[in-house]
Structure 1
Amino acid sequence: MSAPWQRTADGANLLAADGSLGVTIFEEITTLAQETGAINLGQGFPDEDGPASIKEAARAAIAAGANQYAPGKGTMELRTAIATHQERFYALTPDPETEIIVTTGATEAIAATLLALVGPGDEVLTFEPFYDSYGAVVGLSGATHTTAPLLAPDFQPDMDALEAAFTERTKVVLINNPHNPTGAVFGTDVLGRIVELAAKYDAVIVTDEVYEHLTFGLRHIPIATLPGAAERTLTISSAGKTFSFTGWKIGWLSGPAELVAAVRTVKQFLSYSSGTPFQNAIAGGLALGDDFYRGIATDLAGKRDILSGGLRAAGLKVLPSQGTYFINVDAAALGITDATALARRLPSLIGVAAIPVPVFCHREGAERTKSLLRFAFCKKTSVLEEAAARLATLKDRL
């Protein structure tokens, strides 16, 4: 870029020399991909639709007149379907009347939750790297964003560092499991320790589980199912990742009635409600059979493996991905320590775009992850095969 830029404290944006906010790195990489015709594996959204039955249900809902505001909590049809889903998969039994709300995607659920529960003087603890909207919303709330590092190659936390990150000011611990951007999945040892520490410091657990059905060879464990967790946990998920309808922005939140009510008080002044016909359609999607849920994870694991082959052929060190849409690589294997600079070169160099992991970190974390890149594999098989072939030429083109 022609102007001198530096990374802001949250790592997700670029700051001009005069202090004004510039474009995000995500927008920059997307623009480079468009300008060069590169395959964009930076953004985490599918390039093909989900089940036809869900699309048809949305069309039918529109035709039937479900086109006005839904109730602020969401349609009862969807809230009931969410409750049934939680009981079916996890033996959780939230009350659809008082313990579930429908949101405009998981992002709104996260924003409304943090705006409802924290403010200046409070701390919100996340793992690092962290999904970029976490830092932004914590900033909007006025709270302080603290982190506990996830350590490569498997991106599990150091338990001592996790404990040290909790303080008397920790009001919320925000967990993303399965984890974006690392692809890590946390087991009962990590989750159980979080519950113990949250109880010790009287913190609310907010768990972002949008990739709950996209794990590879291991089972997703909602933290709310662990002893002592349910009474202090708000669970967030959405339809976008599970059903490949990210543009519909249908999310939800469940948990204790008093916490849900606090979030709903804020949410009503954000979107109030949205996507009425889509809510009805997703209600039917949640009732799809076990073969559907097994199939989406199996299909995605195959796509991960296709892309992994190309990344290895490129000479990059491929790090484990146990879930989500994402896989990370270490460019240090090629003698490259600046992943951000490499990400800016890749679209024109080999026609593939990726996101540097440092942008998901504060400054210290950015230094720790400076050679890592994140690639998304939620694309058509043919697209991933072409991307893998292009990646295989990287060593020769550098």
Structure 2
Amino acid sequence: MSKLPNIGTSIFTLMSKMAVEHNAINLSQGFPNFPIDEKLADIVAQLAKENVHQYLPISGYPPLLLKIAKLVEKSYHRTIQPQTELLVTAGATQAIFTTIQALVNSNDEVILLDPSYDSYEAPVLLCNAQTVRVDLNDDYTPNWERIEKAFSSKTKMIIINNPHNPTGKIWKDSDFLALEKLVEKYPDLMVLSDEVYEHITFEQKHISVHSRPKLCNRSVVVSSFGKSFHVTGWKVGYLVAPEHLMTEIKKVHQFLVFCVNSLSQVAISEYLDLVSVEELGTFYQEKRDYFRKLLQNSRFKLMPCEGTYFQLASYASISDENDVDFCKRLITEHGVAAIPLSVFYADGKDLKLVRFCFAKDNATLEEAARRLCAV
């Protein structure tokens, strides 16, 4: 009997597979198609010849842990203890899975805010726990009245994602004040904050759980070097948690991966001395603005994008098809792959919206836009 009877192949895998089969431009899956920084490539080439290929400590490469702690302090003015409050993970997905496996028990309830990323629900179900799905507002801000109504005596965790995939929305200070009230009101509540796009923000800067002292002792914050440094295939992320939560998380981590790829950790550690994450927002804002300009004469209506490297677009004036069928036809007839928004909702809510990834080189964006303007 399946432990995940209602979960099949992810929409990301399906759309990427169709993109290959039909030779379509893949704006569906969230990965860049441009080269990594030459400085990082040079570091990897040199390290490949050095003695960096054996097991590292469970928590991570010690110099990298120190540099992550400094990055968190510089970015958010939070001081963390590298050995007890920090863990390098095999990507953000493993960080999320491990956290949920360690902290959520059978029959607990975990609140997800829809539209929500598909990596959140499966680990909850594998704990024999329940997800409680709560829709965000129409503008993708949290509806705190609706969220609190979803709470029960079984509520153990709320998972938040800021900046938000797939909508590109960024939380305001008022949202964190509301969350802090909930944490005060429910003393057993934990927060899992997915902040993998933290450095990809535009006009409005990202507010992190790291910067909220009332939340830090009850929260696990997940980050991604893959997203920040265009190395998604390396699968290197990290999480920050107070020691009492981290102790439990490490118990699971040691039996899941033990430690993360050594060469990648050492390379990232050295690269952090040469790069500024503050420049990432400017880089992707130029991508966002260029993509939006290219599509201004299309029949798609572009939604606001405050962060991430995703652009939501409405096709309501183009077709009455459901969004999954529209995305399939977009591949087969027009040669561009996108992700339908309905898959991020528990009830498959169809708002005639699709998600494009603009983390592509300009030539790819130009050709994709040419095809999309013909739709």
- Cα distance in 2 between the residues matched to 1:295 and 1:360: 30
* CA 320–142 in structure 1, closer or farther in 2 if over 3 Å, else same: same
Name the count of aligned residue pairs.
371
Which of 127, 131, 141 is equivalent to 1:141?
127
Aligned residue number for residue 350 of structure 1: 334
Aligned residue number for residue 250 of structure 2: 264
- Give 1:236 deviation, angstroms: 1.0
Residue identity matched to 1:187: K
Give the 3-state SS of the residue equivalent to 2:21 in structure 1: helix
Give the 3-state SS of the residue equivalent to 1:178 in structure 2: coil
- Cα distance in 2 between the residues matched to 1:156 and 1:333: 25
Q: Quick check: 1:166–1:201 contact (8 Å CA) kept in 2?
A: no
Q: Quick check: 2:193–2:219 contact (8 Å CA) kept in 1?
A: yes
1:74 matched to 2:60? The reply is yes
Aligned residue number for residue 220 of structure 2: 234
- Give 1:72 deviation, angstroms: 0.8
- Give 1:45 deviation, angstroms: 0.3
1:174 matched to 2:155? The reply is no
Can you list the C-alpha shifts for 1:147-188, whole angstroms capped at 9, x where unaligned? 222233x31122211222222211111111111111111121
- Give 1:340 deviation, angstroms: 0.9
Q: Quick check: 1:216–1:297 contact (8 Å CA) kept in 2?
A: yes
- Cα distance in 1 between the residues matched to 2:227 and 2:101: 24
- Cα distance in 2 between the residues matched to 1:158 and 1:142: 27
- Cα distance in 1 between the residues matched to 2:371 and 2:12: 21
- Give 1:293 deviation, angstroms: 2.8
Q: Quick check: 1:102–1:252 contact (8 Å CA) kept in 2?
A: yes
Which of 361, 368, 371 is equivalent to 1:387?
368
Give the 3-state SS of the residue equivalent to 2:326 in structure 1: helix
Q: Quick check: 2:76–2:210 contact (8 Å CA) kept in 1?
A: no
Give the 3-state SS of the residue equivalent to 1:229 in structure 2: helix
Q: List 4+ stretches of structure 1 deviating above 4 A.
A: 19-22
Aligned residue number for residue 196 of structure 1: 181
Q: Let me know the Cα RMSD of the aligned residues.
A: 1.8
- Give 1:310 deviation, angstroms: 4.2
- Cα distance in 2 between the residues matched to 1:285 and 1:192: 36
Q: Quick check: 2:95–2:237 contact (8 Å CA) kept in 1?
A: yes
Can you list the C-alpha shifts for 1:191-236, whole angstroms capped at 9, x where unaligned? 2211221231221111111111000111111113224111111111
Can you list the C-alpha shifts for 1:236-258, whole angstroms capped at 9, x where unaligned? 10100110011111111112111
* CA 285–162 in structure 1, closer or farther in 2 if over 3 Å, else same: farther
Give the 3-state SS of the residue equivalent to 1:315 in structure 2: coil
Aligned residue number for residue 306 of structure 1: 290
- Give structure 1 stretches of 5+ with no counterpart: 1-9, 11-18
- Cα distance in 1 between the residues matched to 2:295 and 2:186: 43
- Give structure 2 stretches of 5+ with no counterpart: none
* CA 184–273 in structure 1, closer or farther in 2 if over 3 Å, else same: same
- Cα distance in 2 between the residues matched to 1:97 and 1:78: 11
Q: Quick check: 1:331–1:337 contact (8 Å CA) kept in 2?
A: no
Q: Quick check: 2:43–2:271 contact (8 Å CA) kept in 1?
A: no
Q: Quick check: 1:337–1:370 contact (8 Å CA) kept in 2?
A: no
Q: Quick check: 1:307–1:387 contact (8 Å CA) kept in 2?
A: no
Residue identity matched to 2:367: E
TM-score by length of 1: 0.89
Q: Quick check: 2:192–2:221 contact (8 Å CA) kept in 1?
A: yes
- Cα distance in 2 between the residues matched to 1:101 and 1:376: 29
* CA 186–20 in structure 1, closer or farther in 2 if over 3 Å, else same: closer
- Cα distance in 2 between the residues matched to 1:66 and 1:56: 15
TM-score by length of 2: 0.94
Aligned residue number for residue 372 of structure 1: 353
Aligned residue number for residue 255 of structure 1: 241
Aligned residue number for residue 5 of structure 1: none
- Cα distance in 2 between the residues matched to 1:167 and 1:57: 51
Give the 3-state SS of the residue equivalent to 1:218 in structure 2: coil
1:65 matched to 2:46? The reply is no
Percent identity over the alignment is: 37
Mean CA deviation greater in 129-138 or 38-47: 129-138
* CA 274–226 in structure 1, closer or farther in 2 if over 3 Å, else same: closer
* CA 269–184 in structure 1, closer or farther in 2 if over 3 Å, else same: same
- Give 1:370 deviation, angstroms: 3.8
- Cα distance in 1 between the residues matched to 2:28 and 2:106: 33
Which of 144, 166, 189 is equivalent to 1:159?
144
